[in-house]
Amino acid sequence: MRYGMAIDTAKCVGCGDCVVACQTENNVPNGYCRDWVVENVNGSYPNVEIELRSERCNHCENSPCVRCCPTGASHIVKGGIIMVTHNECIGCGACIESCPYDARYSHPEGYVDKCTFCQHRLEKGQNTACVEVCPTTCLHFGDLEDPYSDVSLALKNRTWKVLAPEAGTKPQLFFLT
Amino acid sequence: MKEELFVSGRNIPNIDPFLNIWHWEIPVYLYLGGISAGIMFFAGLFTVLGKEKEMPTTVKWSTFLVPVALVLGLFALFLDLKHQLFFWRLYTTIRIESPMSWGAWTLMFITPLSMVWAASYIKELIPGWKWKLGILDTIEDLVIKTRKPLAWAMMALAIVLGVYTGILLSAFNARPLWNTSILGPLFLVSGLSTGLAAIIWMSKSHFERTVLTKIDIVLIGVELFLIIHLFMGFLAGSAVKIEAAELFLGGEFTTAFWGFVVILGLIIPVILEILELIGFKIPIWIPSILVLIGGLIFRFIMVEAGQITRFLY
Ligand code: SF4
Ligand code: SF4
């Protein structure tokens, strides 16, 4: 099993519902977030191109954050999800430095926090909070190894890219272009 | 034409300004670790060579600095942690892949070793010194009897510690300025050189200073060579590496790096040291203090600048 997410940059309207849903679901402290929306505007008038991307931890297959963690607080669980055990984390910041996507942040309580692919919801057979609320259904989540999962179907007939593949971390977020 | 009109990018007020998570604590920690590695390496080396009589400062007196520096360094590391109550978690696992982990473990071994090493010379430093506890006398005897093997262990651990101070940074591929294997040897050589500077400053014997100064000249030469290599590697690298190098070649760290680290911290002291060897009268503390300050600024700049460099997408 290998969880991944496909994000349709052509459909996203940048409403930020995924961000709010995550903050609510995961009790993210005020002013922090585990996912965010980036708006890139390229080109010059009249050929302007906007790309909206809902980003979060890429749950990298070759995850530098897990490798550099001195305590084992950052670890990989079933489906390739990268988790942080809060009361094992010493807050050394090594994983924050190691992430090319700046997906981690220092929680006001001291430990490091980030997206969990809503692992607590997956266990109950539910989908992630961000996917559930997206009004344009531009987020697709599921098992990449299952050819009929939502994410595999979304990737099937579209072109996609991953962010900063040159960082070598094998990210598992796919941006449909 | 591809012109970037406006990139809102990411702007999370409570996260983005704090992604540069490492402040003064880490460079200070790396600096004290480097000096300690330098002093311990040369104390071990001249013990193995059987030069305790000729090089008393190197083998004996300077080693009193090491436990102090290491404990202060560990304290700086502790201050850097954001979840300090869980500090002990560092010592419940060994994670080979994590430089932070094996650095913490190296310090766990090297700090007590440096303490017993210095303590075994305390009777020579303070005549009439008496240990209050009998067990300490036993330990002292043991250290004195096993001095040579301990010296070897100290040299090995000192090299691990010195290289570690560079690898702690170079292991991060997300920070292109750090992500170069030259950083390990560069920090090791710089650490050895700052350690030597401290010993030379303390030493009262002309013979000892001359020997150490000669070694220091070679080390500074190697350091300059590695710095040139570092930039050659960056400039021949990918876009993010070139961008990293440009911070030092016209960017915001240019003056600080070339002025304070390379010229004041390496080139001027090496010239002064050579002049001194030729026979000019140079106050001994000038090159030493320049090397020591240069080494500290070097670590501050590397930690600071590295956190600015990142992958762009
Ligand atoms: S995106 Fe960052 S935090 Fe997430 S797995 Fe990759 S390196 Fe780790
Ligand atoms: S901050 Fe926590 S999770 Fe991150 S590397 Fe340090 S101990 Fe591990």
Checking if the pLDDT of B238 tops 80, the result is yes
State the pLDDT at residue B37: 97
For tokens 């550099």, the residue is: A68
More confident residue, B141 or A162: A162
CB contact under 8 A, A71 and B99: no
Among A169, A170, A172, A173, say which to mutate for ligand 1: greatest number of ligand atoms within 8 Å of CB: A169
How far, in Å, CA of B139 to CA of B152, rounded? 18
What is the per-residue pLDDT across A55-92, written as a single tens digit (0 to 9) for each?
999 999 999 999 999 999 999 999 999 999 999 999 99
- Contact call for residues A176 and A160 (beta carbons, < 8 A): yes
Q: Which domains does chain A have, with CATH numbers?
A: 3-176 (3.30.70.20)
What distance separates the 2 farthest-apart alpha carbons in chain B?
Answer: 82
Distance CA B113, CA A2 (A): 47
Task: Tell me the mean pLDDT in the region B251-257.
Answer: 94
Model confidence at B9, in pLDDT bands (50, 70, 90)? low
Point out the residue among B7, B12, B93 whose CB comes nearest to the CB of A72: B93
Instruction: Confirm or reject contact between B1 and chain A (CB < 8 A).
Output: yes
Return the sign of the alpha-carbon dihedral for residues A158, A169, B227, B76. positive
pLDDT tens readout for residues A99-122 = 999 999 999 999 999 999 999 999
**Is residue B6 scored above 70 in pLDDT?**
no
Task: Please state the rounded mean pLDDT for residues B217-227.
Answer: 97
- Say whether the peptide bond before residue A46 is cis (omega within 30 degrees of 0): yes
Supply the pLDDT for residue B7: 46
- Show residues of chain A in contact with B6, CB under 8 Å: 41
Closest chain A residue to B76, measured at CA? A92
In a 3-state reduction of DSSP, which class is residue A55? strand
Mean of all residue pLDDT scores within chain B: 91
- A110 and B83: CB-CB below 8 Å? yes
pLDDT at site B2: 43
In chain A, what residues touch B22 (CB-CB under 8 Å)?
Answer: 93, 97
**Best of B19, B83, B107 to disrupt the A interface by mutation (most A CBs within 10 Å)?**
B83
Query: Comparing A19-23, A38-42, B26-30, B37-41, which segment has the lowest mean pLDDT?
Result: A38-42
Measure CB to CB from residue B104 to each of A70, A111, A166 and give the nearest one. A70
Ligand 1: nearest atom to the Cα of A98: 7
Note the pLDDT tens digit of each residue in A17-39. 999 999 999 999 988 999 999 98
What letter represents residue A15's amino acid?
C
Determine the Cα–Cα distance for residues A128 and A25; give it in Å rounded to an integer: 9
Among the bound ligands, the one closest to the CA of A81: 1
* Ligand 1 environment, Cβ below 6 A: A 57-60, 63-65, 82, 99, 101, 103-104, 114, 169
**Residue pair B304/B30 in contact by the 8 Å Cβ criterion:** no
Q: What is the pTM of this model?
A: 0.92
Write out the DSSP string of B58-82.
HHTGGGGHHHHHHHHHHHHHHHH-S
Q: Looking at the predicted structure, is the pLDDT value of residue B3 above 50?
A: no
Residues in A touching B86 (Cβ below 8 Å): 71, 87-91, 111
The pLDDT assigned to B136 comes to: 85
Average pLDDT over residues A114-133: 95
Beta strands in A2-97 (DSSP E): 3-8, 36-42, 49-55, 74-77, 81-84
Helix axes B25-48, B99-119, angle to 10 degrees: 50
Confidence at residue B8, expressed as pLDDT on a 0 to 100 scale: 56
Res B225 pLDDT > 90: yes
The tokens for A130 are 């961000």
Average pLDDT over residues B216-222: 97
Ligand 1 midpoint to CA A85 (Å): 15
C-alpha span between B187 and B30 (Å, rounded): 9
Residue B94 contacts A, CB cutoff 8 Å: no
Q: What digits encode the pLDDT tens for the residues B183-210?
A: 999 999 999 999 999 999 999 999 999 9
Average pLDDT on B256-280 reads 95
> What ipTM describes this predicted complex?
0.89
A167 C-alpha vs ligand 2 centroid, how far in Å?
20
CB pair distance less than 8 Å for B90 and A90? yes
What domains appear along chain B, each with residue ranges and CATH number? 16-308 (1.20.1630.10)
Residue nearest to atom 2 of ligand 1 (CA): A99
